[in-house]
Amino acid sequence: FSSDGTIDGYIIIARDITEEEKLQYEKLKLSKVIENLSEAVMITDINGNIQYVNPAFEKMTGYKIHEVLGKNPRILKSWKHDHNFYKNMWETILSGKIWEGELINKKKNGDFYYEYMTISPLFDSQGNITNFVAIKRDITEQKLFEAQMLQFQKLESIGSISSGIAHDFNNVLTSIQAGVNVLKRRLTEVDQEIIKVLEIIKQSAERGVDITRRLLNFVRREIGKFSAVDVNDLIQEIKTLITHSFPENIKIETFVDENVKFINVDYGQMVQAIMNLCINARDAMPNGGTLRISVSNVKGEVLKNKFANVKSEEYVVISVSDTGMGDSRGDQR
């Protein structure tokens, strides 16, 4: 301004903010990437207080962002790991190193889940740790698959061992049968009592041969392969196996709907599932009772009240029921 207050000119101060705009754009882009990651991201301060989580964290844990801000990650603690596990984790990241590993955590609803987590420290310009960033990946399905594969391997091993034992046992029984037949031919009519005893031995050996044949058929089935299975044959096979191994005071009944013939299943897994239900039923009847295996054809509409995402088509329901008091659910299906 001049002395009389009029404007003499203008002073313009300009600052190049190109780099700032570029930096702001990069921050926005990075934020969008983190927001859309399938892995959960959690940022804490140096004391472990949560400052940020992305939507994937919400989906994984069931906690909303506002429920965890300012909280400690121990809200997810499952108590499945000992003190040394967490001590090692903290010592690693406080020393400026990256920690990674598997752990079991607990969701908001109380369900446990497996996760693979990587925790990285963040540093300021002086090299001091200011924050920790945790990247979490839910590996529950992977762990379940690994457990299932391990079970398959165990079953294959058991099947291989059982096959060898059954084969040897079958040879022993065959020798007994042959010996009994030779003795029967050499005995005279005077030795009728001995012949009767030999007949009992022969029949027992024949039953043993039949059982080992069924066991061999079972263990030789390929696990993890779906195929068309005759339901009636399947149930009768199971009935024969449990009849010879369950107590005599347990009566075995089976019912198969004549409209049900073939089902497409993994034979090994199906037999294992039904056998497990039968064993549960047996254990619920320590004083004896009746075990019933039934197979029925059911429309999808009937099952909609019990199971989600059921389509309107026909289903085969296999039920195992007992007269015991051990399972309050009644039928097991």
Question: Which amino acid is located at 321 in the chain?
Answer: S
Q: Is 145 in contact with 169 (CB distance < 8 Å)? A: no
Give pLDDT, residue 330. Answer: 46
Residue owning tokens 């979490």: 136
Query: Rounded to 5 degrees, what are φ and ψ at 248?
Result: -70, -20
Tens of pLDDT, residue by residue over 115-152, are: 999 999 999 989 999 999 999 999 998 888 887 777 66
Q: Report how far Cα 84 is from the mean position of its chain's Cα atoms.
A: 28
Q: Report how far Cα 31 is from the mean position of its chain's Cα atoms.
A: 35
DSSP 8-state code for residue 127: S
Tokens of 96: 């400026």
Give pLDDT, residue 91. Answer: 94
**Closest C-alpha among 124, 122, 143 to residue 134:** 122
Tokens of 240: 């024969």
Q: Which residue ranges make up each domain of the chain? A: 38-138, 141-220, 223-333
Give pLDDT, residue 329. Answer: 42
Q: Which SS3 state, helix, strand or coil, does residue 182 take?
A: helix
Q: Which SS3 state, helix, strand or coil, does residue 2 take?
A: coil
Q: Which residues, listed in sequence order, are joined to residue 61 by a DSSP beta bridge? A: none
Distance CA 83, CA 94 (A): 16
Give pLDDT, residue 327. Answer: 47
DSSP string covering 301-313: HHHTTTSTT--SS
Q: Provide the sign of the torsion angle of the four alpha carbons 300, 304, 306, 310, taken in this order.
A: positive
The CATH T-level fold of domain 38-138 is Beta-Lactamase (3.30.450)
Read off the pLDDT of each residue in 90-110 and give the average, rounded to a whole number. Answer: 94
Residue owning tokens 């013939």: 261
Give pLDDT, residue 147. Answer: 76
CA distances from 110 to 53, 104, 146, 153 (A): 20, 12, 23, 31
CA distances from 295 to 65, 239, 263, 330 (A): 49, 13, 11, 16
Give pLDDT, residue 115. Answer: 94
Q: Provide the sign of the torsion angle of the four alpha carbons 14, 15, 16, 17, taken in this order.
A: negative
CA distances from 317 to 89, 105, 299 (A): 49, 35, 10
Read off the pLDDT of each residue in 5-22 and give the average, rounded to a whole number. Answer: 72
Give pLDDT, residue 1. Answer: 61
Superfamily of domain 223-333: Histidine kinase-like ATPase, C-terminal domain (3.30.565.10)
Give pLDDT, residue 122. Answer: 93
Give pLDDT, residue 328. Answer: 43
Give every CB contact of residue 20 below 8 A, 6+ residues apart in sequence.
none
Query: Rounded to 5 degrees, what are φ and ψ at 134?
Result: -110, 130
What CATH number labels 141-220? 1.20.58
**Closest C-alpha among 255, 264, 260 to residue 298:** 260
Residue owning tokens 């002086």: 126
Q: Is 135 in contact with 93 (CB distance < 8 Å)? A: no
Reply yes or no on whether the pLDDT at 217 is more than 80: no
**Closest C-alpha among 206, 208, 205, 265 to residue 233:** 265
Query: Rounded to 5 degrees, what are φ and ψ at 106?
Result: -125, 130
Q: Which residues, listed in sequence order, are joined to residue 250 by a DSSP beta bridge? A: 289
Percent of the chain with pLDDT over 90: 35
Query: Rounded to 5 degrees, what are φ and ψ at 96?
Result: 90, 5
Reply yes or no on whether the pLDDT at 187 is more than 80: no
Helices 192-219, 231-243: inter-axial angle, 10-degree rounding: 130
